[in-house]
Every structure is written in structure tokens, then in C-alpha cells.
Structure 1
Amino acid sequence: MTTPRGRFITLEGGEGAGKSTLLAGLLDVLEHRGISVVQTREPGGTPVGEAVRGIVLDPSMQGLAAETELLLMFASRAQLVREVIEPALAAGRWVLCDRYADASHAYQGGGRGQPSARIAELERWACDGVRPDLTLLLDLPVATGRARAAGRGETDRIEIEADAFFERVRASYRERAAGEPRRFRVIDASQPAAAVLQMATQALTTWLAELPA
């Protein structure tokens, strides 16, 4: 018998949205249902990806061109798809990923001003048709997210950007969610962590109930 293909779930959101905290809770929900889950992140998730992450987030890399940043993100993503995501899905496992291609549309597109057609073409090529089945977008005001991120200590190269950059990122995320309402579930991430987990768990549970048997 052919092994049923796994499902691909992504978490998206701006700085301080609480994605890392939420991942653990969602992982528990899926595993309690007997689902085998691979958890990963972007940029990163592979040795190549983690090396790229070090470059992209290094505050000393202020001279990194927007085009270079975009290509690095998709280089990391191409490796993640081929080394981790696609093999897991083909084996019937589910993948839970902290950010994916929507992040490039938001950060390198909305934030950096890279053309949407360019990003879409890179996504087509690098991701090889692998798209999320469900995306949970953790949405919150930029000021709230930045205050949370500041409390974590040292900031990275992305986090030191101006508020206007993150407002464009947020607007881009919300635009993508509005354009694909069947894939996206928007979560009010300005609430306390426990409330965010409850809302995200409910969204995930409802989506799971809608899947074909």
C-alpha cells in the first residue's frame, strides 16, 4: 500500500509574535493524536541552512544587499525542502515549520521592497511545488512585538530595523492571509501566551476535523 503523504503546517509572524513558544504546544496537540511530526525552522533546519542563518542574522553584516538576502533565504529553503521537508512528507510524516516562503514575501518583499514576481519565481524554483497545507499567522501590533523582542536581550540584524520596516512586513503578511483564506488562520498574538496557544490549538483542531478521512 502507498503511504499517505504527510501534511505541512507553518507558523508565520513578525518579531516577538511568540512562534517558538507556540510550536511546542502545537507539537503536543499533533503527537497526542498519534501523528509523527518533524519540527524545523527557517532560515535553518539543515547544516547549510543554519550557516545561512548565521550570515543573515549577524548584526555585523550591515552591507548585505536586499537581493543577496533574498537569494540566501531561498538557498536555505531549497536545501530544507530537499533534505528535510519533502522526504518527511513522502514518508507520511507531518512537518511543523517556524516560517517558510511567506516570510520572504513579507520580509524581503514587503520589508525590503523586492518585486513580488521575483519572489514568486524563486519560490516556484526553490520550493519545487512544496507549499503549506495550513499556515497560522500570529498577528500583533509592531510596537507590542518589538517590546517583547527587546526583552529577549541582544538583537539580530533583522530586529534592529526601523518600525516602518516591520509595519510593511505586517501589512504584507495580512495581505497574503486575506488572499488565501483557506490556507491561513490569523491568530491575535497580542494576547497572553496561554490564550494564543488556546486560539491556535482551536484553529488547528478545527482544521484537522475538516480533513478528509
Structure 2
Amino acid sequence: MPGVFITFEGGEGTGKSSHARDLAEVLRKAGRTVVLTREPGGSPSAEEVRALLVTGAVGRWSADAEALLNYAARDSHLRETIRPALARGDLVLCDRFMDSSRAYQGFAGGGDMALIDMLEQSIVGATRPQLTLILDVEPELGLARAKGRAGAAGVEDRFEKKGLAFHRKLREAFLAIAAKEPGRCRVIDSSRPYEAVSEDIKRAVASVVGLA
């Protein structure tokens, strides 16, 4: 039986990581075998690339270089973690995936969308998520939340420092992706209390994984 692939997307400070972690716990208690992973990262090699992307000076990479680095990491992540888990019939929850490349490096970053399209087709191929949860919040609120967690997150703040105009474009990008693929994407208002957002996530996931 093939596995199920669910991704969490959105800008900074939307709560993706926390909600992915909590959903994994709910699904495990319901008897599902869950692989909780993230991007950039998710395999030993990809985690090494992550450090290049999320730390350091804002201008250390162009948008196209970021796309290439992300896809180098994604190739490893897919080969070493995601595809083996799906082949076993596991449920894979991933904090960010291909839509983040489109939003961060393409739409907001001004990178070459033809390059991103080619990388997605070649590396992601048919391994696309059945469900993508896009957690949506005003950029000002999201950045304030992200700043509040900075102490725990260490120095992984390179994208947070790109400025409000970048993050407004980022939000537009994710909403545009959702509008283009309504069958795959669900937009969830993440400005509300955490418990309300969590309940909406569980409802969205229930139809895909049979969660009661």
C-alpha cells in the first residue's frame, strides 16, 4: 500500500513546524507510522546544505543559487528519506517542499521560474504531495512571531532578514499557488488561536488519511 505525502507551507512565523510536529503525534496515537521531516534538510547530506541556506548574510546567494542549493538538498531528501518511507506505506509529513522554492526563490526572490520548473520536473517528478497545508498569516505578525522564537532557533534567520516587502510577496505567492491548485492545497488562517488552527488541520487531513 503506497504511503501518503503531506506538506506544510507558508511564510515565516506561521507555525508550520509546531503544527507538523503536533499532527505527527496525533497520527501516531491513531496507529499510523509517521515520518516527520523538513526542508531544507531531512537527510544527512541535505542538512549540511541547509546550513548554507538559512544562515549568514542575506545577500550571500542569488535566488537562482538558492534554488540550485535547495534542489541539491531536495534530491538527497527524496532519495534517502521521502521515497523509501512512501514505498513502505508510511505517512510523510514535511515542513516545506517544492512550493517553497516557487515562492521564496521564484516569485518573491525574482529567480528564473523556468529553472525552477525544470528542477521540479526533473527531481520531484511524480513524488508530489497529496495534500499541502498552506498556513497563512499577515507578514507583520509572522515576522514578529519568528523574532520571538529567534533565541531557540539560533542563527537560522537569513530569510527573516530579507525585509517586509519580500515577505509580502511571499504571502502572495503561497496564496497564488493555492488558487492554482485547489485540489491539492488548503489555506488555513494561522493568525487565530493555536487550537483552532490545529483543529482545521486535522479536519483537512482526515479526508486524506482516514483520520476519525
Q: Could you say which TM-score interval applies, normalised by the shorter chain?
A: over 0.9
After TM superposition, the structure 1 = structure 2 runs for residues 43-122 of structure 1, keeping only pairs within 5 Å, are 43-60=40-57, 62-122=59-119
Note the alpha carbon deviations across 1:57-104, whole angstroms, 9 max, x for none: 112463212221110000000100000000110111111000000000
Q: Tell me which residue corresponds to 2:179.
A: 178
Shift of 1:176: 0.6
CA distance in structure 2 between the partners assigned to 1:175 and 1:117 by the alignment: 17
Letter aligned with residue 135 of structure 2: L
Q: Structure 2 counterpart of 1:67, which letter? A: D
Helix, strand or coil: the match of 2:188?
Answer: strand
Displacement after TM superposition at 1:6 (Å):
0.3
- Counterpart contact for 1:55–1:61, Cα < 8 Å: no
Q: Where do residues 1-213 of structure 1 align in structure 2 (5 Å cutoff)? A: 4-60=1-57, 62-153=59-150, 156-209=157-210
Deviates more, 1:112-121 or 1:142-151: 112-121
**C-alpha distance in structure 2 between counterparts of 1:115 and 1:69, whole Å:** 11
The Cα RMSD (Å) is: 1.5
List 4+ stretches of structure 1 deviating above 4 A: none
Partner secondary structure for residue 89 of structure 2: coil
User: How far did 1:174 drift?
Assistant: 0.4
Where does structure 2 lack aligned partners over 5 or more consecutive residues?
none
Q: Is this contact kept in 2: 1:6–1:88, CA < 8 A?
A: yes
How much does 1:209 deviate? 4.4
Q: Partners of 2:67 and 2:108 in 1: how far apart?
A: 11
Cα offset, 1:189, TM superposition: 0.4
| Structure 1, 100-109 or 189-198: larger mean CA deviation | 189-198
Closer, same or farther in 2 for the Cα pair 1:162/1:61, shift >3 Å? closer
Question: Quick one: distance in 1 between partners of 2:50 and 2:210?
Answer: 36
Does the 8 Å CA contact 2:55/2:156 hold for their aligned counterparts? Answer: no
Structure with the higher fraction of residues in helix conformation: 2
Structure 1 counterpart of 2:97, one-letter code: Y
Q: 1:155/1:147 Cα in 2 relative to 1: closer, same or farther (>3 Å)?
A: farther
Q: Could you tell me the percent identity over the aligned residues?
A: 44
Task: Tell me, yes or no, if the aligned pair for 1:41 and 1:97 is still in contact at 8 Å.
Answer: yes
In structure 2, C-alpha distance between the alignment counterparts of 1:43 and 1:31, rounded to whole Å: 24
Give TM-score, length-normalised by structure 1: 0.92
